[in-house]
Structure formats: C-alpha cells, structure tokens
Amino acid sequence: MILTITMNPSVDISYPLAKFNINDINRVKDVRKTAGGKGLNVTRGIKYSGIDVLASGIVGGTTGEYIQKKLTENDIKYDFYITKQESRNCIAILHEGNQTEILESGPVLTEQDVIHFFNHYQTLLSQAKVITISGSLPQGFPVNFYVQLIEKANKNNIPVLLDSSGNMLHEVLISQNKPYLIKPNKSELQQILQVNIDEQNIDSLISAVNHPLLDNIAFVIVSLGKNGAFARCHGQYYRVTIPRINVVNPVGSGDVTLAGLAVGIHQNEPVEVMLKRAMTMGMLNTMESQTGFVNMQNYDGYFQQVVVQQVMDK
C-alpha cells in the first residue's frame, strides 16, 4: 500500500467565467468543487493506476468533512487526523484564457496538533510500503517537520518520495534524514541550490543533481516542463523526452507524475519503465480540464512515445 501525506488539504473551487468583472457582480453557473491539495492529486493518480492507496494528513471543520465526503464519493480510502480548526478553501477563477487564484493559508494549528498528528502518522506506518509527502505545512508546524516524518519512515525502511520546496525542502536537504526521492522542477532546484542550470547542457544538469545537498538521495527527478525531465537514479543519469501534446490544464501534472513514480517504486519497476510511467501520467493530466484526472484509456499510446535515454558522465 502507498501512503500519501497532505498536511494542508483544501476544497478546490473552480469558477469558470466568460469575463471576469472587477468591482462588479459575477454570476457562475458551472461550479466545480473537489478535494484538493497536492497530496490528494497524487492519491488520485495512484488510484487510477490500480494500486492500493491510503490518504492521510490533517482536516477539520465542515470544510474537512466535505473533503472526506468527496474522497468517499471517489472510493478513495483515507485516515486523517481531525483537528478542531477549519480546513481551507482555494478558489480558481478561470477567465478569458487566464487563471486567477485565491488561496487561503489554512488553519493555525497548535503544538498539541503537531504531537497528535505525529502519533497518528506512526500508527499508519505498518500499512505502508511507500510514502509520498506533498505540499506545504500548516501554520503552527515547525519548518523541519518533514524531517521528523522522513526520519521515522527511514527507521522503518519505508522509502519516502518528497515533493516540497523552499524552506521545507531546504531543512530536509541539510538534515541527515534524506528522502528516497525528490522531484523539484528546474526553478525550484536552482533556488534551493543557488545555481544556474542550463537544461540544454548535460554537464550542467549532471553537476546540479550531484550537488552535495543532494547526497544520499537515491532518485533526483528534475522536471523540465515541455522538455521532459532529467533524472539521477542510483548514480545513473537519464534524459526523458516527451511528445508534443495539447495542454488543457497543467495544474496537478507534477503531482500525478509523482503518483507514477510512487507506483513504479511500489512495483519495483526498472528505472526506464518507472520514468516513462511517471511522465505519461503527468502528460495525461495536462490534457484534461479536471485537475488530478487521468484518462487511462490513453495511457498505452502515450507511454510508447516517451523516450528515456541513459546519459554517461564525462
């Protein structure tokens, strides 16, 4: 079973408008509400792949109840820590080819919430073969909290796939408790390493993924958007190229890519197959209007078009 951790989930609300009128009334007919948060997008991607998955994290209030209701409707198993604080809403206004987002920061949690969630997390480890941790931490949690989660998983020999950024990722990278896999995009990696990366230059990419901060991480997968990805996997280097596709909605594609990586590791797939699976899942998500959705009927056709080439270090 794969355990997914979403520490700051939300109800994602989509308002499509032909025109967004500032300082005026906007009436919306087609409102879409989903259980949101990066980790829940990962959860759906794993579910589409047919692998047993359990979602966890922190929810609270009527918004938290709605998140659980939507997961139940999607036949997704969950075991959240329930706080007394209200979970957040995140609003996307889709207008004239643009997307304007209004994102609540979420509940402010207490030291007791930190302790109770960590204890809850420990009770779930016996069920997990692989763990994914995605997104931001709630207010009130220490910035190094992911280090604690990874440390506990490592002691139980459970690989952790981490998709986070900024200070939270930096705290993990400077610690002794490294995740099994990280999946930054190029901009995130440049920021955290304080280097410039030329994605057209193999030597530049190899130098970046070999930065000392990334030591002892088995898989470093660098997303390059439409240019695919570059990966260091157990000391070997791979360039992944993808076909041109019609992008409808790129939001959540990185999360679904992580779902593909988690499934590949869970199934002990060869590196080339795992990378092709992950990139195919991410592409399929971008081709749908619904965030975190994948039409698996298109999977085989696009899987064959993803090219994984091993690259040698000079």
Over the stretch 57-112, which tens digit does the pLDDT of each residue have? 999 999 999 999 999 999 999 999 999 999 999 998 988 878 898 999 889 999 99
Whether residue 259 has pLDDT greater than 90 = yes
Q: How far apart are CA 18 and CA 264, in angstroms?
A: 41
Domains annotated for the chain, with CATH where assigned, are 2-19+30-311 (3.40.1190.20)
Q: What is the pLDDT, as a whole number, of residue 61?
A: 96
Q: What angle do CA 163, 165, 171 make, to 5 degrees?
A: 100
Q: What is the pLDDT, as a whole number, of residue 14?
A: 86
Phi/psi at 199 (nearest 5 deg)? -70, -10
Q: What is the pLDDT, as a whole number, of residue 92?
A: 87
Q: What is the pLDDT, as a whole number, of residue 245?
A: 87
152 alpha carbon, distance to own chain's centre: 20
Gyration radius from the chain CA atoms: 19
Q: How many residues does the chain have?
A: 314
Query: pLDDT band for position 260 (50/70/90)?
Result: very high
Give mean pLDDT, residues 126-146: 96
Name, in order, each residue with C-beta under 8 angstroms of 297's C-beta and a sequence gap of 6 or more.
none
In order of 97, 184, 227, 281, the CA distances from 152 in angstroms are 44, 23, 36, 29
Whether residue 314 has pLDDT greater than 80 = no
Range name among 96-105, 110-119, 127-136, 154-163 with the lowest pLDDT average: 96-105
The residue assigned the tokens 């643009």 is 98
Please state, for a pLDDT cut of 70, what percent of the chain lies above it.
Answer: 99
The beta strands (E) that lie in 28-153 are given as: 32-36, 53-60, 77-78, 81-83, 88-95, 98-103, 130-134
Name, in order, each residue with C-beta under 8 angstroms of 206's C-beta and a sequence gap of 6 or more.
232, 237, 311, 313
CB atoms within 10 A of CB 23: 4
**Under a CB-based contact definition with an 8 Å cutoff, are residues 54 and 2 in contact?**
yes
Name the H helices within 106-252: 111-124, 145-155, 166-173, 186-193, 202-209
| Arithmetic mean of pLDDT over the chain | 94
